[in-house]
Chains A and B, each alone.
Chain A
């Protein structure tokens, strides 16, 4: 069966520090991968998605970037965090050709 791993679960970072969040999927090949952000009390905002290695689509321009160095690995990065980057970051995957998305446990990021 497929599983998705996302870490860390909680992260507290100072403003201006770098960020790297990692997500890996097991039990499937060539999945679509997604990064979402959910601000407190708000809906899910799609940040990036990828349909294959090295293929990244950006949905919202901001100081974040994403990379997919391996088939089942998706990384969210920032060179300098802003206060507004605080939120609940969720990684998700879907089978290619299907819309059903399955979420990781999420990372709660607090930028202070």
Chain B
């Protein structure tokens, strides 16, 4: 069964620390990987996309992709209380351009 898996958490980190969120996926043909942030009661918003192995940095966020091991991770440096949200991983499991599959999300709590 094609899946995207995330630890549901909650992951608690102190303010200023690095938060590390992980996601594994089932299909080796996957080509596109995304991280979304969803605040409680709100819709998901895109924060990072990554398509190639390695790291991609955008401000305090770094996405890491390892296709051989089939995982993608998101690092949040200098975590702030405003980063407290659920982080959703999304992958195009079939390698196509029509749809992606979302993980169930990891809830992050940044403690002041």
Contact = CB atoms under 8 A, between A and B. Distances in A.
Range of interface residues on B (Cβ < 8 Å): 20 to 34
Interface residues of A, number: 24
A51 B96 CA distance: 13
B92 interface: yes
Interface string B72-105: 0000000000000000101010000111111111
Given A99-B32, A100-B49, A46 B99 contact: yes
A102 interface: yes
B111 interface: no
Contact of B105 (A43, A98, A106): A43
B interface, over-half SS: loop
A51 B98 contact: yes
A97 interface: yes
A32 interface: yes
**Most chain-B Cβ atoms within 10 A of its Cβ — which of A59, A97, A103, A105?**
A103
Interface string A30-52: 00101010000011101001010
Interface stretch (B11-19, B39-47, B53-61, B62-70): B39-47
A99 B44 CA distance: 15
A105 B34 contact: no
A25 interface: no
Contact of B34 (A43, A46, A100, A106): A100
A90 interface: yes
A69 to B, nearest CB: 20
Interface in B25-52: 32, 34, 41-46, 49
Contacts of B34: 99-101
Identify the 7 closest CB pairs spanning chains A and B, nearest first: A43-B104, A103-B43, A44-B102, A99-B32, A106-B43, A99-B92, A97-B97
Interface of A: 32, 34, 36, 42-44, 46, 49, 51, 57, 59, 90, 96-106, 108
Interface of B: 32, 34, 41-46, 49, 88, 90, 92, 97-105
